Each structure stands twice: as structure tokens, then as C-alpha cells.
Chains A and B, each alone.
With several copies, the nearest count.
Chain A
Amino acid sequence: MALDKNELAQLVAGDIPDGAYVNLGIGQPTSIARYLSPESGVILHTENGMLGMGEVVPAERADWDLTNAGKQPVTELPGAAYFHHADSFSMMRGGHLDVCVMGAFQVSAGGDLANWHTGAADAIPAVGGAMDLAAGAKQVWVMMTLFTKSGEPKLVPACTYPLTGKACVTRVYTEVATFHITPEGVRVTATYGIGIEELATRLDMPLLA
């Protein structure tokens, strides 16, 4: 059976190595934090300038000088550190983050990522730190639904939306299957409520098992 959002977040959390420094993108990936145990020693980075970020807190407990990249109020964990934006993005661009997890509109079979712009002519473009993360993290994982609401695949032979980064995604986590993007091709690492043949047909691309 397909995973629900919480199960998917838990699955990703379980794959993050102990002690890793991790950036969780705005939106769905933020929920992964709930499934990271303190014993794992995973340390969360937020690009607005902090390592050791804690949980999202409700507005009534907010300190508005302490927010995540989505501008939600968060907490500070013991061992945290603050730094300015140039230092924060140097950390990202310099390849020091072990993993970042982002949402996506599309991921290509070659690991290209499109998650900032639908290409619609009237859309106001906004990119934030997505391109910096795509270019900088040691591993870029994507967490998304595998199909759009109208049933179009989001894991595609080539992205049709404007790119965020080229050949950067190494893993894709979806509600019906998980994938590793490898030099040999796209490898299915697990399926949930869907057969691999049906998956290959719906995605219209060769899949390694």
C-alpha cells in the first residue's frame, strides 16, 4: 500500500546516517525532523544561519528571531551555532552538508532537479536557497509524490520545467516507490502498493531493480 506522508517522512529519516549534518527543505521535508531521534546525533542546518535547529513551535511559543528557512519559529538545541548568510551558504556550497532533502516538481533520470519554477509565463520566480543546496550538498535527496494530481509522472526522462541543478539528485523518495539515481540508471529500491512493471510503464523509462 502506498505510504502516507508521515510514513514517507519516517522512511527518509531512517535512511539518514547517524551523525549526519542535514538540511531539510521547506514544506514536506521539514516533517522528517519529527522522526529523527536525539540518539542519532543528526544535526539540522537551516540556511538562514544555524546548525542545531530544533523543532517547529506554535506561534504562541515563538521567538521571531529564531526561525527556519520557511520562516516558522523553531527551537535551538544544545550545541547549536549561529552564523551569517555568507558563512551559511559557504557551508552549503562548500560540500559540508552530508544530506539535503528537498521537494521537487520534477527529477530526471540523470538526477536533474526542477523545483523552483513551473515555467508558467505569469509566475513570479522565486528560488531562495534551492540552487545553492542542489549545487552544494554531498547528497541531494528528493521527497515528493511520484505523480502529479493529474497523474503525470514527476520522475521523468528529462525535465521540462526550468532546472534548479544538474545531475545532483541521488535518491528519490515517493509514496509508491523509492529510487537511487546511479551512473547506470534509475534503480528502484522499494515499492509500496505498486508492481515494478506497472511503475516502469507509468514512468515510461527503463528501471533497474
Chain B
Amino acid sequence: MRTRIVDALTAVEEVKDGDTVLVGGFGMAGMPVELIDALIEHGAGDLTIVSNNAGNGDTGLAALLAAGRVRKMVCSFPRQSDSWVFDGLYRAGKIELELVPQGNLAERMRAAGAGIGAFYCPTGVGTPIAEGRETRVIDGREYVLEYPIRGDVALIRAHVADRLGNLVYRKTARNFGPVMATAATITIAQVSKIVEVGELDPETVVTPSIYVNRLVEVA
């Protein structure tokens, strides 16, 4: 259905307490900072956040965590030099952590977006990550069964959108955006610029408009 062009606060108005929110970005590259700020202002809590990292410094995702809105983090690399907000919450037992290898995080969201029920993945075999999970040997190699990660909402950052919602990204800020856009019921994209329909080359569109429900221009 048609992509709506709105302001950040309107864009996040449908987020509900208890939602699973996919948050793009790898470190700060591709992090939808203004959408996260709007989510904080919006006030939804008891959230499960799926993102590669667990916040840097005191802004963005870290601020959402500091505001006590997050029940659980699903991520591959929470521990960083400037992840003091998460570190404190974790050590105080105030936040759950599901640690997922980075590729599994991406592939499990990809599966959600692609209608795949589950998949056998070689990553993590023989490690604590695989403990308690179903495994199977296929063609002589051992795999772990992995399930999709779906979002109620995805907050992503792209570079340029057209008014239909087609997206292009910029350099390694592309990272999780295109995958998360497919895996959420409502995908909200923050972009630097919105152009007219027809201004993007159809060969270069990375996220087709079908995956984008709300567009927010943040110049």
C-alpha cells in the first residue's frame, strides 16, 4: 500500500508497548537517529530491540535504553568501548540479551521477509550459541536450525528515496537497512532527501517501495 511521507513523530505513532522494533545501522553508519529520538518522545515501552549493537554513547539507541523502554536486546555485539548504558543495565539485570551471530541476525530477518519458515545454518555449530538448538547433518556437514526474526516495526536510514518509497543507500551505511525493510510489518525509513518519482534509476534501487510504509526526510 502507498508509502506515506510524514514527520518523525507521526511515523512512529503506531509503535505499541511490547513491540519488536528492528533498528538499522552498524555502529552509527545507517543508524536512524531521528526516528529513535521520535520513538523516545512517543513513549512506547517494554520493547524488544533487534539491532547489531546495543547503543553507543548517550544518544540514539543508548538514549532509548537509558529511558528504560527496552525489555530485551537481540544483537550480535553489545559490548563496545562506548556501550556504557547497555553495560550498566545488563550488569544490573535490568535488560535481557539474546546474542545472535551477526550473519544469523541478518539471515533470520531475511528469512522473515522472504517467507522462509526456518533454515539450517552452519554458523555456531559446536559453540555455546548452538546449545539447546536442533541440529542436523546434511551432506556430511552439521547445521543448526534457525528461525525467522520478525519486527512489528523497522526503523532504518537510507540515503535518497523517491516519493513512492524506493530507496538507495550510501556506502556501508546500507548494512541492515534493506534486510530489515523486508522483515517488519511497518517499515519506516529516514532519508536525507526525497525526490520525485522517476528520478531514481530503476536499475539502482536497493529497497523497492513495496517494503517501505513511511518516509521521513531529515536533511
A72 to chain B, nearest CB (A): 10
**Are B114 and A93 interface neighbours, CB within 8 A?**
yes
B173 within 8 A of A: yes
B29 located at the interface, meaning its Cβ lies under 8 Å from any Cβ of chain A in the complex: yes
Q: Please, which residues of chain A bring their CB within 8 A of the CB of B177?
A: 84
Q: Could you tell me the dominant secondary structure of chain A's interface residues?
A: loop
A117 to B101, CA, bound (A): 13
Known: A48-B175, A67-B27, A95-B115. Is A165-B210 also a contact (CB below 8 A)? no
Known contacts A63-B171, A127-B99, A131-B127; is A81 also within 8 Å of B205 by CB? Answer: yes
- Cβ of B1 and Cβ of A20 under 8 Å apart? yes
Q: Which of A118-126, A139-147, A172-180, A182-190 lies on the face that meets chain B?
A: A118-126
9-residue interface stretch from A28-36, A39-47, A149-157, A200-208: A39-47
Contact of A51 with B122 in the complex, beta carbons under 8 Å = no
Query: CB-nearest residue of chain A relative to B185?
Result: A95
CB-CB nearest in chain A for B109: A86
* Total interface residues in chain B, CB < 8 Å: 68
CB A78 to nearest CB in B, in angstroms, measures: 3
CB <8 Å contact, A48 and B29: yes
Chain A residue with Cβ nearest B197: A79
Which residue of A50, A127, A163 contacts B102 across the interface (Cβ within 8 Å)? A127
* Chain B 68-86: CB-based contact to A (< 8 A → 1; otherwise 0): 0000000011111000001
A82 / chain B contacts, CB cutoff of 8 Å? 169, 171-172, 174, 202-203, 205
Given A76-B202, A131-B124, A94-B114 contact (CB < 8 Å) = yes
Task: Determine whether B147 belongs to the interface, using a CB cutoff of 8 Å to chain A.
Answer: no
Distance in angstroms between the alpha carbons of A43 and B78 in the assembled complex: 29
Q: Which residue of B lies closest to A52 (CB)?
A: B202
Within the complex, what minimum Cβ distance (angstroms) separates B32 from chain A? Answer: 13
A39 to B1 CA separation, bound complex (whole angstroms): 14
Q: Are B179 and A84 in contact (CB under 8 A)?
A: yes
Find the A residue at minimum CB distance from B157. A65
B198 at interface (Cβ–Cβ under 8 A)?
Answer: yes
Most chain B beta-carbon contacts within 10 A, residue among A19, A41, A90, A94: A94
CB B208 to nearest CB in A, in angstroms, measures 4
A81-B114 in contact (CB<8A) = no
Residues of B within 8 A of A46 (CB): 172
Contact surface of B with A, Cβ cutoff 8 Å? 1-2, 26-30, 52, 76-80, 86-87, 90-91, 97, 99, 101-107, 109-110, 112-116, 121-129, 162, 164, 166, 169-179, 182, 197-198, 200, 202-203, 205-206, 208-211
In the complex, besides A84-B179, A136-B123, 7 extra interface pairs with C-beta distance below 8 angstroms are A20-B1, A21-B210, A65-B173, A80-B205, A129-B103, A131-B129, A165-B127
